[in-house]
Structure 1
Amino acid sequence: MNRTNFAPVAFTLAAAVALAACGKKEEVPAPVVAPAPVVETAPPPAPVVETASFVALSVGNQLDANQKATATADTFAPTDTIYATVATDGNAPNAAIVARWTFSDGQLVDESSQSIVQSGPANTAFHIAKPDGWPVGTYKVEITLDGNPVASEEFMVQ
């Protein structure tokens, strides 16, 4: 074989190897992306309901220092001042208590209301008085709290 014929073949072979080497790129692995951590959140707290709730009604002819009716009774003298104490509990920025006093035939004797700011247990007192004396008969006091009837009590004047 002739050397002159060998040179073009060697050059072609070298060029093919060089081109093949240039075209080959080293593969870079794709970056590993960690999944985002799952953050568990608690549900929002339930809204605080601010209400006053009825506990008890007592009727008597005296009040103590806590505005609670003492000497509770269901029978009174015509000249007694008659007290009704509404015991409530809860938390409310504004609550309305109404006391409606009626005579046995449904005749309205008195109706009064008080707005209260409730923060824990409390007593709210109402009263009726008639210096010349109540007519003998059956009476009733009805209590509403924020417009809802919560209690009533009948009593006698003798």
Structure 2
Amino acid sequence: MEVPGSDSDWRSAQFRQKVVAQIEEAMRKAGTVNTTHKSGTDMENHVYMKAKTREEYLSLVARLIIHFRDIHKKALGGPVGGPGQMSVQQMVQQQQQQSMQFQQFQQQQQQQNAALQQQLRAQQLQQLQQQQAQNQQLQNQMHQNRIQQQHMLQLQQQQQQ
């Protein structure tokens, strides 16, 4: 059951009165207004006292309304069961479908992980190659510096002679 509003407004008298009206409407449609010993207000108050959060409150109210809709459907001779109730076969099919979806998800994750690992290896290789090239440049510069130093040393020695 989705009702717009903030998390705190579910405690307001106005909000709760709207919920009572929905419960009483469901009771009226089910034909249980005169047969139950509790009013819509009593039922809403029970749910309100039991709920700790807005989501829990709305969930309990939704279950209550679905219960009355089931009574109404049963009275009309239709199939009983809200969206929360399904046959064993439907449950098995749903579990199989969820299992397949989970396997597909796992495969996608594995493929993404493999692709990321490959990218990481390529980046590491590129960094290693860049580092090796920089090292080679430094060695070349150091070699050039040594040659220049030796050359200058030779020139100094020649000038002193």
Alignment TM-score > 0.5, same fold: no
TM-score for both structures, normalised by structure 2:
0.24
Q: Highest Rg: 1 or 2?
A: 1
The structure showing larger relative contact order (alpha-carbon pairs under 8 Å, at least 6 residues apart) is 1
TM-score for both structures, normalised by structure 1:
0.24
Higher helix fraction (1 or 2): 2
